[in-house]
Amino acid sequence: MKGRAPEREEGQQSLELLQSMTSSSGADNPPVRRVAIFGGTHGNELSGVFLVKHWQENGAEIQRTGMEVKPFLANPRAVKKCTRYIDCDLNRVFDPDNLGRTVVEDIPYEVRRAQEINQIFGPKGSDDAYDLIFDLHNTTSNMGGTLILESSRDDFTIQMFHYIKNALAPERCPVLLIEHPSLKYATTRSVAKHPVGVEVGPQPQGVVRADTLDKMRRIVKHGLDFVQLFNEGRLF
């Protein structure tokens, strides 16, 4: 038994090192105070549309102490027509060229809308941008609830996804990393410092399924719970 003492000491040292690394990583991140929840980026993906409209009328369940949480309908014209978009895909036009484009009469509706969203929740890439945006989507694919990560260096969001996955267990909740060395994504949520994509399916376009809506609702709830714990100083 005495011969195993050094192993226990090494194990304890490793644990202390891991805890110190986790602690310092969390300490480097400022509190997350401004959060937005986008629905209707694609107007025929209705779970997010229904949730955002519900929370705009009664947002008690998404409010957390010390945070501003804003539900927002991203593409209202497309939602009204129950179509993916009017002129072009809103989830592809948050790049510098489109955000800086001169507004003229024939500018695509979604480009103009992107500029409006950038003014409200950005500017993209600035210190004034919202801390976190949940962007709610549906898919016809049978992929359940999937979390979309845009950067493998976003420690805060990675820890949030780990928390959400544990909270949903034993349900599966895959994480899709869309980072690419030569491609720059121009998603609606990329305005925020921490963009979070939530994709839930299967659900046909223009349809709302109760089970899909409930799963999306729970993902957002657990994400907001994580933010509150993070702001209160919990180490992850």
pLDDT given at position 128: 97
Mean of all residue pLDDT scores within the chain: 90
Q: Is residue 189 within 8 Å of residue 154, measured between CB atoms?
A: no
16 belongs to a structural domain = no
Q: Are 122 and 129 in contact (CB under 8 A)?
A: yes
Report pLDDT digits (tens) over 111-163. Answer: 999 999 999 999 999 999 999 999 999 999 999 999 999 999 999 999 999 99
Answer whether residue 27 is part of any domain: no
**What predicted TM-score, i.e. pTM, was given to this entire model?**
0.87
Q: 5 pLDDT band (50/70/90 cuts)?
A: very low
> Is residue 9 domain-resident?
no
| Structural domain includes residue 13 | no
Q: Residue 7: its pLDDT value, please?
A: 47
* Pairing outcome for strands 194-201 and 144-149: antiparallel
Look at residue 9 and tell me whether its pLDDT is greater than 70: no
Asked whether the predicted pLDDT for residue 181 surpasses 60, the reply is: yes
| Domain residue limits at 48 | 32-232
**With 80 as the cut, is the pLDDT of residue 18 above it?**
no
Q: How far is CA 158 from CA 68, 95, 138, 205, in A?
A: 22, 24, 22, 29
The predicted pLDDT at position 182 comes to 77
Q: Is residue 3 part of a domain?
A: no
- Report how many domains make up the chain: 1
Q: Inform me whether the pLDDT recorded for 170 exceeds 50.
A: yes
Q: Which residue has the tokens 């011969």?
A: 3
Mean pLDDT of 174-192: 90
Query: Given pLDDT bands bounded at 50, 70 and 90, which one contains residue 185?
Result: confident
**Of 51-55, 97-101, 102-106, 184-188, which has the strongest mean pLDDT?**
51-55
Q: Is the pLDDT of residue 230 over 60?
A: yes
Q: Distance between CA atoms of 201 and 211, rounded to whole angstroms?
A: 10
199 belongs to the catalytic site: yes
Catalytic residue among 45, 110, 150, 199: 199
Across 20-29, 100-109, 125-134, least confident range? 20-29
The CATH number assigned to the domain holding 224 equals: 3.40.630.10
Q: Is residue 7 in a domain?
A: no
Residue 1 falls within a domain, yes or no?
A: no
For residue 175, being part of any structural domain is answered with yes
Distance CA 2, CA 139 (A): 58
Q: Is the per-residue pLDDT at 66 higher than 80?
A: yes
Residue 64 has pLDDT above 90, yes or no: yes
